Amino acid sequence: MVASSFLSNLAAASPSYETISQVTDGHTSLLAAVVLCATAHATWWFLRFSLLPSFHRDEPKELPYTLPLLGHLFSFFGDSNALLTRARNYFGDTREPFALTIAGMKTYVLTRAEDVAEAYRNVKTLSYEEFVQAMMRILGNSELSVKAMFTPLPKDKSGFPNPHGKSLGILFREMHIHQLFPGKHLDFLEDRFHEYFDEHLHLEKLNEGCHYALEKTAGSIVVPLTQWCSDYFVRGGQHAYFGPRLADIDTGLTDAFIVFDELSYQVIYQYPSFLAKEMRTSRDRILQGFRKYLQVPKEERVGDAWFVKAMEDELRAVGMNDEDMAIATLTIYWAINTNSRKASYWLLAYLLQTPGLIDIARKETAPAFRPDGTVDLDYLHSSLPQVDAMWSEMLRMSAFAASVRFITDDTVIGGKTLKKDKRLIIPYRQLHMDQRVFGEDIDQFRHERFLENPRLASGNNFRPFGGGATMCPGRHIAKRGVIVFVAMVLNRFDIELDGEDQPMLEADLKKPVPGLMSPKVGADLRVRLTPRKAST
């Protein structure tokens, strides 16, 4: 009886044949689906990266990827330099042009100096305008303003000469070059930087203005190097270009810009608003300051650079509204300040962490400081071989931007055909870390390499400011401003790392930037400044 009951219960609890059949069928269907997907993916991969390339040997090889359409999207935005290095090594480090796919868009990459030079010479089928227009839209410019900026203007228009009938978008660059090319307009800017530094590089002024100081005493001050360089250079750049009026309108505008600049990758990659609240808040504050600035009568805006008023006149002439003019002014402010503040940081940081360089730089710049307190700026321009080499090595180590072009027609570069309607990028860091050019110690700061071979600074492998028609026009004032600042700091202060527990000098290689790298979060240096007896 008991056995009969047990067997009955066991039968009741056991799955029926139908149930087993359903489960088995379900597993079989799932397995079949997995096999089908795997087969389809393997077939796609074979066609994409093995078969089809064999019919297009004249085109750059493409780095294989796993996810269709997305391609290398996550790797590129996560750490673009690591991805580019991996791709270059995947193809045997031949430095031939290769291709990536980023969100469905094929993008060609150049890492060989000869190919880069060829690309910069090509102004017919490699265009930059599309990216300028895209950036204008991202920053909030209206379609009417974008069209106005890139519509050819009459050759006989008033204002800045336009003998070739170019658009304002192209003329703006030529106007900025006119301001920044060696001559009276560049001298004006350098004098304004020097004027600002001369007033503020005193211990009393440092104690008064550096609210972020880590320690203040009667004899010295300790500051975070990144924040200090950023603060002084953005304020100095604002003073040089816009005079004192902009600071009167909003004393916190420079602080807002530093926040915006550190988060500017969110602009470039078009982050949704809910993920970019801090960036948007700082951007809106800057735009509000520029709207107010542009409403001030010109005669009340004294001490500004020629380019600022000339730019405003041209914008008003093509019918720009106040909002679009404020955004255009922001792009100029951004270009002025994004790299010089980082360049001053990196140069001082490498001097501080490389034994003996502070003394070398101080000794070489000392003759520029006259007994009456004035500075011989011409001497700083032409008589500093050691500091010039340090400047070049700093740029080699810290330049992280890339030139971008849109391919308007099939173009042959490096023996490979780059197809129409695709993108081309030229990553500077890949050029600067070429061991065949700069030596095996490429990860070390060694300025002597530029003294041993001065041609390195003018070679095709050295492109910290880009090249061709889009070479950064601000390269001269950036160098002059930074050298003046560093020379004055070394002349007036003993500068040293505060304490031995300093973080490693480390750059943020994962954050995309439009110029020089930022230091990695948490890797800032604490610096003590003590007035030198000779300068008191």
If 0-12 CB within 10 Å is exposed, 13-18 middle and 19+ buried, where does residue 34 land? exposed
Identity of the amino acid at 90: Y
8 A C-beta contact, residue 153 and residue 323: no
Identity of the amino acid at 454: P
Is 229 annotated to bind ligand? no
CA 351 to CA 363: how far, in whole Å? Answer: 13
Helical spans, DSSP H, in 14-72: 17-46, 52-54
If 0-12 CB within 10 Å is exposed, 13-18 middle and 19+ buried, where does residue 441 land? exposed
The tokens for 252 are 């916190």
Instruction: Report how far apart, in Å, the C-alpha atoms of 86 and of each of 98, 104, 108, 463 are.
Output: 12, 20, 15, 21
Instruction: Report how far apart, in Å, the C-alpha atoms of 71 and of each of 8, 52, 509, 522 are.
Output: 59, 17, 21, 32
3 state SS for 58-106: CCCEECCCCCCCCECHHHHHHHHHHHHHHHHHHCCCCCCCEEEEECCEE
8 A C-beta contact, residue 331 and residue 139: yes
Cβ neighbour number for residue 368 with a 10 Å cutoff: 21
If 0-12 CB within 10 Å is exposed, 13-18 middle and 19+ buried, where does residue 408 land? middle
Question: Which residue is it, tokens 């047990």?
Answer: 6
**Which parts are annotated binding residues for heme?**
472
**Which parts are annotated binding residues?**
472
